[in-house]
């Protein structure tokens, strides 16, 4: 069966989903997106994901008449048409199609695109081994809290890490860690306190991030949402990244500093708790 995607009210073969040259998403990156995990015939944390999508639409002033049920039903139907039992859905909404002008006109229908993909399964061995990251200047704009289509700084920084034979990069702004190129950053200090940057305009408040915080508190772990610098990062007992598709990936090397030889105990527990949650 060929891959099926969604474009403006129609479920079509993926290669037939084409948008006009004048679409604002293509010409300006003028749009937002969301990624939601799907397993056991349900969307994982769909309410906060869709609420964040609506928030992003509101922040960039894209008018629409969608409701939560529209996206939930679209997602379930798209997974069904692709015969996928688990995976992720990518939702993208641009301001729509119009002549190329530099301001943000109103009165146009937004372009809605949705695709689904199988979920990459990281083995227990891969998780235990962990990944390596570099730290890099955060060259993104000042509204990272909006899940917009403007991802080129993250893409270039991620490639920079791979060119240096690292797996990923962690952004640093004004001496403080913000987040990974496509994930939130957590550290565990020597007192087993779980620490992640407080949600501000320099990070995307990840839905998986929030769930991990909740699971950590249910384990009676101390959790702090605050700024921390590179020195605290490299001296941490454990480091890990979270996102909808990564779930939780242990970081065992930062720059030239070995954090640990394998995933830490708290990282293991929280990953197991999250897998139980989505299962």
Secondary structure of 3-53 in the HEC alphabet? CEEEECCEEEEHHHCCCCCCEHHHHHCCEEEEEEEEECCEECCHHHHHHHH
Q: Look up residue 12 and give its two tokens.
A: 């079509």
Q: Look up residue 70 and give its two tokens.
A: 């529209």
Q: What is the pLDDT of residue 13?
A: 97
Decide if pLDDT at 68 tops 80: yes
Which of 92-96, 120-124, 231-235 bottoms out in mean pLDDT, i.e. has the lowest?
Answer: 120-124
The more confident residue out of 266 and 125 is 266
Q: 196 phi and psi, to 5 degrees?
A: -145, 155
Residues contacting residue 166 through CB under 8 Å, at least 6 positions apart: 132, 133, 134, 253
Count Cβ atoms within 10 A of the Cβ of residue 16 and give its class: 0-12 exposed, 13-18 middle, 19 or more buried: exposed
Instruction: Convert the pLDDT of each residue in 83-93 to its tens digit.
Output: 999 999 999 99
- Residue 82 near residue 116 (C-beta atoms within 8 A): yes
Q: What amino acid positions are annotated as catalytic residues?
A: 147
Region at 40 (left for phi over 0; alpha for psi -120 to 50; beta for the rest): left
Share of the chain above pLDDT 70, in %: 100
Nearest Cα to Cα of residue 193 among 252, 235, 229, 237 = 237
Please give the Cα distance from 6 to 16 (Å, whole number).
10
What confidence tier does 144 reach under pLDDT thresholds 50, 70, 90? very high
Instruction: Convert the pLDDT of each residue in 226-244 to its tens digit.
Output: 999 999 999 999 999 999 9
Decide if pLDDT at 75 tops 80: yes
pTM of the model: 0.96
Please give the Cα distance from 121 to 191 (Å, whole number).
31
Q: What is the pLDDT of residue 146?
A: 98
Tally DSSP H helices, then E strands, for the chain: 8, 15
Q: What is the pLDDT of residue 123?
A: 83
């Amino acid at each position: 069966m060929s891959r099926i995607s969604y474009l403006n009210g129609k479920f079509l073969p993926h290669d037939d989903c084409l948008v006009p040259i004048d679409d604002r998403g293509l010409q300006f990156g003028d749009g937002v997106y969301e990624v939601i995990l799907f397993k056991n015939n349900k969307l994982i944390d769909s309410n906060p994901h869709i609420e964040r999508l609506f928030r992003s639409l509101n922040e960039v002033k894209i008018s629409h008449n969608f409701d939560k049920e529209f996206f939930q039903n679209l997602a379930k139907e798209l997974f069904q048409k692709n015969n996928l039992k688990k995976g992720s859905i990518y939702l993208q909404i641009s301001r729509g199609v119009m002549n190329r002008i530099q301001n943000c006109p109103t009165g146009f229908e937004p372009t809605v695109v949705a695709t689904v993909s199988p979920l990459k399964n990281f083995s227990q061995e891969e998780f235990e081994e962990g990944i390596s990251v570099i730290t890099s200047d955060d060259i993104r704009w000042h509204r990272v809290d909006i899940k917009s289509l403007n991802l080129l700084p993250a893409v270039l920084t991620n490639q920079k890490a791979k060119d240096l034979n690292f797996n990923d990069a962690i952004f640093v702004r004004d001496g403080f860690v913000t987040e990974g190129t496509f994930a939130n950053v957590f550290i565990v200090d020597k007192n087993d306190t779980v620490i992640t940057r407080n949600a501000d305009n320099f990070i995307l408040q990840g839905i998986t991030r929030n769930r991990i915080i909740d699971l950590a508190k249910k384990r009676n772990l101390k959790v702090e949402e605050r700024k921390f610098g590179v020195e605290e990062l490299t001296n941490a007992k454990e480091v890990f990244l979270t996102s909808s598709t990564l779930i939780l990936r242990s970081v065992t090397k930062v720059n030239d500093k070995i954090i640990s030889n394998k995933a830490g105990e708290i990282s293991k527990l929280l990953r197991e708790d999250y897998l139980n949650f989505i299962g």
